[in-house]
Amino acid sequence: MRTWHLVTYDIRDDARLRRVARRLEGYGERVQYSVFRCRLSSLELERLRWELTREVADEDRLLFVSLCGRCAAGVQTLQRKTAWEMARDHHRII
Q: Tell which residue, 26, 4, 1, has the closest CA to residue 75.
A: 4
Give the pLDDT confidence score for residue 73 in this predicted structure: 77
CB atoms within 10 A of CB 28: 19
Q: Is 26 in contact with 36 (CB distance < 8 Å)? A: no
User: Rg of the Cα trace of the chain?
Assistant: 14
Phi, psi of 31 (to 5 degrees): -110, -20
Q: Which residues pair with 9 in a beta bridge?
A: 62
Q: Which residues pair with 11 in a beta bridge?
A: none
Q: What's the rounded mean pLDDT across residues 78-90?
A: 60
What are 8-61's pLDDT values in tens digits? Answer: 999 999 999 999 999 999 999 888 899 999 999 999 999 999 999 999 999 999
| Domains parsed from the chain with CATH numbers | 3-73 (3.30.70.240)
Residue 71's pLDDT band, with cuts at 50, 70 and 90, is: confident
Give the pLDDT confidence score for residue 70 in this predicted structure: 81
User: Residues with Cβ < 8 Å from 1, sequence gap 6 or more?
Assistant: 41, 89
Give the pLDDT confidence score for residue 93 in this predicted structure: 64
pLDDT of 67 strictly over 60? yes
Give the residue, 69 or 49, on which the prediction is more confident: 49
